[in-house]
């Protein structure tokens, strides 16, 4: 069985805590688990929302936490001041690239457009052959059930190869998700480029 060594994991999540306490509870549990397993947490660098929850939890468990935040958000004074390392970058695009460079795995917690933007771009990079790292979704309380149905619709409609559906690793709890990510093997699938008959 393939085994992924994840020394650092990027976590994408909301800058709000959401309206169900289970979201913050799951963020804290994930931060604690990563710290206990010696996995560095890489995240968006903010002290608010689920981002603040996971960072604080990892730090309280003696974990290493690296924040990556654009200058304009740092200027709004929402950056976390107690991290192991805080990297200031120039743009949202640079933030995503830096987080990618620092990580061997990626996890999406519940969040909004920003969370989906980040995790979908990383997932797309895998489809394009730019990396083979696992991309996981922690399906807290069924939060990502509608997304799973949408992915299935993409396959049925011919916009996503069936082999690529597995690149979105779904886990209902932290141990299950991390286990799936550690044993993940990226599919060897060419994108859509093929020779057409003339």
pLDDT at 4: 78
- Containing domain of residue 33, as a range? 8-182
Please say if the pLDDT value at position 80 is more than 60.
Answer: yes
Q: Is the pLDDT of residue 19 over 90?
A: yes
Provide CB contacts within 8 A for 116, sequence distance 6+.
Answer: 108
Classify 96 as helix, strand or coil.
helix
- CA 38 to CA 179: how far, in whole Å? 15
pLDDT at 75: 83
- Provide, rounded to the nearest whole percent, the portion of the chain with pLDDT above 90: 87
Query: Residue 77: what pLDDT?
Result: 74
- Res. 82: pLDDT tops 90: yes
pLDDT category of residue 198 using cuts at 50, 70 and 90: very low
Q: Pull the structure tokens for residue 150.
A: 């949408």
The answer to the question of residue 188 being in a domain is no
CB 158 within 8 A of CB 50: no
141-151, pLDDT tens digit by residue?
999 999 999 99
Is 137 contained in some domain? Answer: yes
Other Cβ atoms less than 10 A from the Cβ of 93: the count is 11
Q: Give the Cα-Cα-Cα angle 109, 115, 120 (nearest 5 degrees).
A: 105
pLDDT of residue 191: 56
Q: State the pLDDT at residue 194.
A: 52
* In-domain check, residue 187: no
Query: What's the structural domain count of the chain?
Result: 1
Where residue 42 falls among pLDDT bands split at 50, 70, 90?
Answer: very high
Does residue 189 form part of some domain? no
33 sits in which H/E element: helix 21-36
The structure's pTM equals 0.93
Domain assignment of residue 128, yes or no: yes
Query: Does residue 49 belong to any structural domain of this protein?
Result: yes
pLDDT attached to residue 136: 98
Residue 23 included in any domain: yes
170 - beta bridge partners?
Answer: 137
Structure-token pair, residue 136 = 């996981």
CATH code where residue 85 lies: 3.40.50.450
Q: What pLDDT, on the 0 to 100 scale, is given for residue 83?
A: 97
> Is 98 inside any structural domain?
yes
**pLDDT band, residue 190 (cuts 50/70/90):** low
């Amino acid at each position: 069985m393939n085994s992924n060594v994840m020394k650092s994991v990027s976590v994408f999540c909301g800058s709000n805590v959401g309206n169900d306490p289970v979201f913050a509870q799951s963020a804290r549990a994930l931060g604690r688990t990563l710290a206990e397993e010696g996995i560095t947490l890489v995240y968006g660098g903010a002290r608010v929302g689920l981002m603040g929850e996971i960072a604080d939890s990892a730090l309280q468990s003696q974990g290493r936490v690296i924040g990556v935040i654009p200058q304009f958000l740092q200027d709004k004074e929402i950056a976390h001041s107690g991290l192991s390392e805080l990297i200031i970058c120039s743009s949202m695009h640079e933030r995503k690239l830096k987080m990618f460079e620092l990580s061997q795995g990626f996890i999406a917690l519940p969040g909004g457009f920003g969370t989906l933007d980040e995790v979908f771009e990383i997932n797309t990079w895998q489809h394009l052959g730019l990396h083979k790292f696992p991309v996981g979704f922690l399906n807290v309380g069924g939060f990502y059930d509608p997304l799973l149905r949408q992915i299935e619709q993409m396959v049925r409609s011919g916009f996503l190869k069936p082999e690529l559906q597995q690149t979105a690793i779904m886990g209902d709890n932290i141990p299950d998700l991390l286990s799936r990510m550690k044993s993940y093997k990226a599919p060897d699938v060419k994108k859509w480029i093929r020779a057409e008959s003339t």
